[in-house]
Structure 1
Amino acid sequence: MTTALKLTDLSKTFPVGKRLFGPAKGMVRAVQPLSLSVEEGETLGIVGESGCGKSTLARMLVGLLPPSTGTIEINGAPLDAADPALFGRKIQYVFQDPISSLNPRKTIRQIMEAPLKHLHGMSAAERDARIREIFAAVNLREEFLDRYPHEFSGGQAQRIGIARALAADARILILDEPVSALDVSVQAQVLNLLADLKQKFGLTYLFISHDLAVVEAVSDRVAVLYFGAVVEVGPAEQIFAQPKHPYTKLLADSAPVVGRALVAPEGRETELPDPLNPPPGCAFSARCPYASAECRQAPPPLEQQSDGVWAACYHPLSETA
């Protein structure tokens, strides 16, 4: 298979407590150096708690944030962070809030024309033909083109957001919580649409979500992030059925299930790592029932545990269960 997206030692660090003169008071590493690859036509799900670095990673991939270290390659070619147009032609972002991601002062036609003008330099006739093609693909009527974003429901606005991403002719889409703001019935429609578009246009998806059921249903593989680092990655059907990392099991046990009482898998006194003073070893050790002295000394490497499953854990669950 051909690798569509390859990340090598990609990280992001933010200064905190800036002074008027002199260096910042501290630095927070939102994304630890990570390496991932996504094959053409694959959907890689990315899951983790709030603050684990999912959205920061997504913004680096589309050029909204420059990485502190590492490289991004698409189809074997490195992306230049200084050229935002190159990002736009290769990879596009579908935002979580469909309404606020659309310019309220522009009609849908003007919004759709922007990438066709600035990224591809199309003529008016070419733009019109391309917009009609894309609108047909996302099941939207052409009469919507002369309306404004506030005139649409959340589901319609998200279809417009997807259409705008497709207009750039990118083959990789970053889907950041694309259905979390929608009603459940509309969620199913949008997910089915994404599946159809993936097949029709040969797309590759990075699907970021808190909803583990949705991620498992739409993803080929899943990467689990904790404290900015990948702690487990593998086929979707294995990650949640037989997790190797205790954090992955915690996520699966925390997900609500119809007919099952909501029980917190952890106590209220659970301590999360301090981003300004990260622990020297495994960041999850304070919350892990299997943690040992080794876990508190050095972070575990990401190692293969079984066919297709990699986990960063000194005591994977297959050994401790």
Structure 2
Amino acid sequence: MRAVHPVTLDVAHGETLGIVGESGCGKSTLARMLVGLLDPTTGSIEIEGAPLDKADPAAFGRRIQYVFQDPISSLNPRKTIRQIMEAPLKRLHRMDAPRRAARIAEIFDTVALRHEFLDRYPHEFSGGQAQRIGIARALAAEARILILDEPVSALDVSVQAQVLNLLADLKAQLGLTYLFISHDLAVVEAVSDRIAVLYFGSVVELGRAEEIFRAPRHPYTRLLADSAPVVGRPLSAPEARESELPDPLNPPRGCAFRARCPLASDRCAHEVPKLRQVGGHAVACHHPIGT
């Protein structure tokens, strides 16, 4: 079974690339490969032209870090926040105790957390506070790239805005690069410079955030946009012939989206579409919208 098909993505320094798609499309599998939690069976991952090599875990961890979806369960319940924060400083940077204390205080000030939180345990915090701690732990590694896997989906709407504003401030202050994975199209559009739309393990559309949902070129992107609830707009059933993803153990021939696509033709049943430029977007479709 292929969870992710061959995917080529270039992310510029200081950019936020949003990655969207339904559950099961390969978003989290791709993210876990990028941080070394899963090994890709083919292909390579490069940072600044150099292959990502896990031979030296400390060097790997100093370049890229992961912020998890569930802020509480991603923190060790048996350790205090101070112990959690000290782990990357010990293992990645070999700091002594006085330097660790100074660095942790600096990071907590950066993410607007009180220093007395350091001697508490994860269960004593709200979701928003726990997510700030997770972000602080990633910053302790001094990585320039953060993989944000649904970082606000488990939070209340008001807390989501606080965390998103914090991420924007950190990106500007520290020159960070983000890969932002989410189901929430509004959040992704608001925080991203570009957006990649995944379907059945493949990128089907890639374009500027302000254009990708305003004028989608791929029928699946339009389906996602039409399916998202919007305040003040009645819910309506999007135009689609099927509602389920294909079976990954028995993948279809040709275009994986054709059973759900209102524009599908005989060509779609036999030929896998390749990414090509259409109206400023990269689109993998034989019949892109608007052409």
The TM-score by the shorter chain falls in which range? over 0.9
Q: In structure 2, what is the Cα distance between the partners aligned to 1:249 and 1:222?
A: 14
Q: Which residue identity lines up with residue 272 of structure 2 in the other structure?
A: P
Does the Cα contact within 8 Å between 2:128 and 2:163 map onto a contact in 1? yes
Q: After the TM superposition, which residues 1-321 of structure 1 pair with which residues of structure 2 at under 5 Å, given as runs?
A: 28-266=1-239, 270-307=243-280, 309-319=281-291
Query: What SS does the aligned partner of 2:19 have?
Result: strand
- The count of corresponding residues between Structure 1 and Structure 2 is 291
Which runs of 4 or more aligned residues in structure 1 lie more than 4 Å from their structure 2 counterparts after TM superposition? 266-269
Structure 1 residue 119: deviation in Å?
A: 0.6
Q: Percent identity?
A: 78
Q: Which residue identity lines up with residue 287 of structure 2 in the other structure?
A: H
Alignment RMSD (CA, Å):
1.2
TM-score, length of structure 1 as denominator length:
0.89
Does the Cα contact within 8 Å between 1:233 and 1:310 map onto a contact in 2? yes
Does the Cα contact within 8 Å between 2:19 and 2:180 map onto a contact in 1? yes
TM-score, length of structure 2 as denominator length:
0.98
Structure 1 residue 269: deviation in Å?
A: 5.2
Structure 1 residue 232: deviation in Å?
A: 0.3
Q: Which residue identity lines up with residue 95 of structure 1 in the other structure?
A: F
Structure 1 residue 218: deviation in Å?
A: 0.4
Q: In structure 1, what is the Cα distance between the partners aligned to 2:269 and 2:114?
A: 58
Structure 1 residue 263: deviation in Å?
A: 2.1
Q: In structure 1, what is the Cα distance between the partners aligned to 2:231 and 2:211?
A: 22
Deviations 1:120-146 (A, max 9, x none): 111111111111110000000111101
Structure 1 residue 306: deviation in Å?
A: 2.2
Higher strand share: 1
Q: In structure 1, what is the Cα distance between the partners aligned to 2:245 and 2:103?
A: 49
Q: In structure 2, what is the Cα distance between the partners aligned to 1:87 and 1:206?
A: 17
Does the Cα contact within 8 Å between 1:47 and 1:209 map onto a contact in 2? yes
Residue of structure 2 equivalent to 1:23? none
Q: In structure 1, what is the Cα distance between the partners aligned to 2:258 and 2:4?
A: 18
Q: In structure 1, what is the Cα distance between the partners aligned to 2:53 and 2:102?
A: 31
**Relative CO higher for 1 or 2, CA cutoff 8 Å, sep ≥ 6?**
2
**Bigger Cα displacement from structure 2, 172-181 vs 258-267:** 258-267
Does the Cα contact within 8 Å between 1:66 and 1:81 map onto a contact in 2? no
Residue of structure 2 equivalent to 1:8? none
Structure 1: runs of 5 or more not aligned: 1-27
Structure 1 residue 279: deviation in Å?
A: 1.1
Structure 1 residue 230: deviation in Å?
A: 0.3
Q: Which residue identity lines up with residue 11 of structure 2 in the other structure?
A: V
Q: In structure 2, what is the Cα distance between the partners aligned to 1:246 and 1:192?
A: 32
Q: Which residue identity lines up with residue 196 of structure 2 in the other structure?
A: A
